[in-house]
Amino acid sequence: MTTQLEQLKSITTVVADTGDFEAIALYQPQDATTNPSLLLKAVQIEKYRPLAIEAVKWAKDQGATDDVAAVAADKLAVLIGAKLMEQVPGYVSTEVDARLSFDTMATVEKANHLLALYRDQGIDTSRVLIKIAATWEGIQAARILEAQGIKTNVTLVFSFAQARASAEAGAFLISPFVGRILDWYKADQPDADFSGANDPGVQSVTRIYNYFKEHGYDTIVMGASFRNISEIQELAGCDRLTISPGLLDELANTDAELPRKLTPVDSPKAAPAALTEQTFRWDMNEDAMATDKLSQGIRQFAKDQVTLETMLTDLAK
């Protein structure tokens, strides 16, 4: 019998949730995705340090002075993205600075800047997904970018409202988080049984996937942030799943049969009227978990971005 990783690849597009080139070479995913936390981990590994040095040198050559770290951070994200593109045949996601999560036009401008840096590297930007936090402002930025022909990955999705609004905005792909949802419920209900299909993160992604297929949305559902392979097994058949190297290894060493759990429908029906901003914000207000985890995710990505820029500042001295 083939491994569960190979079985999964036959029904779901597997994406590497890492900036580690060696892990990608080992598991051969279709796509790759990064975020500020993963970039920070990558540059702390000695063999990837030359990319950070190259980014700082480039920033200085551009005449950057006070903002050399911020300029270098964008360049570093693109350098790592370009390297990832050499290893995967599909898309690579590059994230917009989380500190812009509540500024629609600044997000659009940053996205176009990142794509310009990719073009300067000679990269085919049709393979780049611009990753944006699923705030209302971020989702509206995705709407504008998609209208410009720029594909987006709306991330930090914890609620059905975020997912639905993203699909209605025409986002190319969304990243609903599984493990972080589970973390919140386990902290709130430590004695509850969240195994298998009882996992609230699994239930969230399943609901989103079924709704998108039922109403014919083209937006790709990519489950993310897994805590164990059971969550992955329960979402087998999802459009895409982005998986860390440790869990990819576990799947590659598991030979049991992997049944498909999610399947698209044959005849989608018309979608309901789009969410208004007021309804979106109310639905988020009523969802304590989604509100907590979205805010926490943005804060953590912003913190890691600052730490990354501090490291680049030190390199620039």
Active site residue 47: no
Amino acid at 247: L
Choosing from 75, 110, 131, 151, the catalytic residue is 131
Residue numbers annotated as active site: 131
